[in-house]
Structure 1
Amino acid sequence: MLLSVTNELVVRRADPALRRHIRGYWGYASELPGRARQREPLSTGVVMILGLGPRLGLADRADLAQPAAWFGSFVAGLNDACAVIEHKGQMRGVQVDLSPLATRMIFRESMCSLAREVVALEHLLGREGRVLEERLMELGTWEERFDLVQAMLAAKLQAADPPPPDVDWAWRRLAASRGRLRVAELATELGCSRKHLAARFREHVGLPPKLVARMLRFRHASDCLLGASSSSLSELAATCGYYDQAHLDRDFRDFAQTTPTAYLAEQVTFVQDASPAVS
């Protein structure tokens, strides 16, 4: 177990007008005695990291024995595997949780090109990304940093064309059900084929709707597991819409490469271990 850990975490929700696009802002700083790796919860959106300290390593999810790729500020597209991050004792930055639809509006990129990819922010925003990093480092408080990031994102969202109404509705309907809505039912409600719906999701969300539904359901289950809201794994499976515990175990293997018990035993992420100050 690592000793002498210093953690700082400040969380702020996006302004009400932006909450359909931006889930929140996380200001974090962590100091540990040495190099470490940690598994992150499965993200059901797009994560933007604005680095304010040493570069952050992202392990190859297919082969954790390979050296990590190191980034300053970056955008991580929708991915059906938990990220494994690596750092050399220090982490400091701002995390922004974006919906896939908002990400397409902000960066004007097809989401299928960002799915399962990590892209340096400079490659998406050019000089604007470098200037944003510099300005964030000059500011003295998390609140000032959140204000700056939110103003930039709000301007880009306002200037962008909105997502197609059918995709917007389908994404929100699936997210609201926490993945329990069957894709066939979703297609029927939209009056389209499952093939058409899958094509729309690949362009605007990044992954097919059936996989996204599994991810949403798994994330809900893993959050419930960490929150100890169920007394047993079989109860957890039933509560979250799984046919049985075996299907829950399968999703833990597929998405987190571990078992529910091992997942719970890990100090999964700095964000979850710290006690956040909510601004």
Structure 2
Amino acid sequence: MDYVGRVPAPPLDRFVDDVYCLTGVPRHRLMNVPPMPSAHLFLHLDGPVRLWDPDRSTEPAVFADGWFMGVWTRRFLFEYPARVRLVGVHFKPWGMAPFVGLPATDLSDRWAPADAVWQRSLDRMRHRVGDATSAAGTLDVLEEELTARLAGTPARGLDLVRHTGRRLEAAHGTVPVGALADAAGVSGNHLANLYKEHVGVTPKRMARIYRFARLILSVDAGQPVDWADLAQSAGYFDHAHFSREFKDFTGHTPTQYLALWRSFPGERSGPHDFGPMPAD
């Protein structure tokens, strides 16, 4: 599939990692998606898309238009349609808060139709996006729509969450949460409550996701992998804990995960291919 993305202009870049278009025929329809340090908005112009949490024996959620997803702390399954035409937003973990007017806990480990969050205003946005004649034009429209919905005054505590979240991001989750609270001049409980409000999860949980993301994105399946060294570099100092968390987050042992990627050489062609792995 073809991926075209960019970091949006200020002030959106304080809250959004990238906006992007994804088009084409997927090599794999069903993807197993581990937790990553972001929240999402998807607008699908060719649907429907199905998602499972994470057991395929459960009924999937089906979205034909658009949906929001908060920060996920466990893996889920995502099924592309036969042909993909998708416009997306990767929000920073705290980045969805100024746009949706909901407590972040309402969207953590959940997905919700975009119309339910933005009160049936999605059709106009999808039409504007669909009428754009180029990927750059599509992303221009998306940035305009996001800017129009950006709250003018930051909610209470959001600036503090953003500041400490940037430290967590820069340290790949290895900075102690107590040190974040001390540096911010607040108690650990106060910081945790602010994170639940604006991110949907505690800073400790967010640190785990950043640490895992650093590890999984550093794996080069084309080379020998020293899991012990990678784990230690990412901040895992207990091998048993690393193995349990890896299995919880991916559904595979490290050895199984590596074998899976080696069976699909050259598959990673864009950001959408890093983290998610084929499940079909």
Q: TM-score range by the shorter chain?
A: 0.7 to 0.9
2:221–2:261 Cα contact (<8 Å) kept = no
- Give the structure 2 partner of residue 221 of structure 1: 215
Question: Equivalents in 1 of 2:79, 2:85: separation in Å?
Answer: 13
| SS of corresponding position for 2:252 | coil
- Give the structure 2 partner of residue 4 of structure 1: none
| Deviates further, 244-253 or 75-84 | 244-253
Q: Is 1:238 aligned to 2:271, yes or no? A: no
2:30–2:79 Cα contact (<8 Å) kept = yes
- Residue pairs, 1:93-112, within 5 angstroms: 93-112=86-105
Offset at 1:196?
1.8
- Residue pairs, 1:2-151, within 5 angstroms: 7-32=1-26, 36-61=29-54, 63-71=55-63, 72-151=65-144
| SS of corresponding position for 1:225 | coil
Offset at 1:162?
5.1
TM, length-normalised to structure 1 = 0.86
Offset at 1:132?
0.4
- Residue pairs, 1:155-194, within 5 angstroms: 155-157=148-150, 159-161=152-154, 164=157, 165-194=159-188
Structure 2: segments with no counterpart, 5+ residues = 272-280
- Residue pairs, 1:192-211, within 5 angstroms: 192-211=186-205
| SS of corresponding position for 1:273 | coil
Deviations 1:19-76 (A, max 9, x none): 221111221123258x831112422111110111111110122x22223211121011
1:48–1:96 Cα contact (<8 Å) kept = yes
Structure 1: segments with no counterpart, 5+ residues = 1-6
| SS of corresponding position for 2:164 | helix
How many aligned positions are there? 266
TM, length-normalised to structure 2 = 0.86
1:46–1:103 Cα contact (<8 Å) kept = yes
1:43–1:82 Cα contact (<8 Å) kept = no
Question: Equivalents in 1 of 2:38, 2:105: separation in Å?
Answer: 13
* Letter of the 1:273 counterpart: R
Deviations 1:135-188 (A, max 9, x none): 211222111110000011123225343552322222222122110011122222
User: Percent identity over the alignment?
Assistant: 26
- In structure 2, relative to structure 1, the CA distance for the partners of 1:52 and 1:266 (3 Å cut) is farther
* Letter of the 1:247 counterpart: H
| SS of corresponding position for 1:75 | strand
2:53–2:75 Cα contact (<8 Å) kept = no
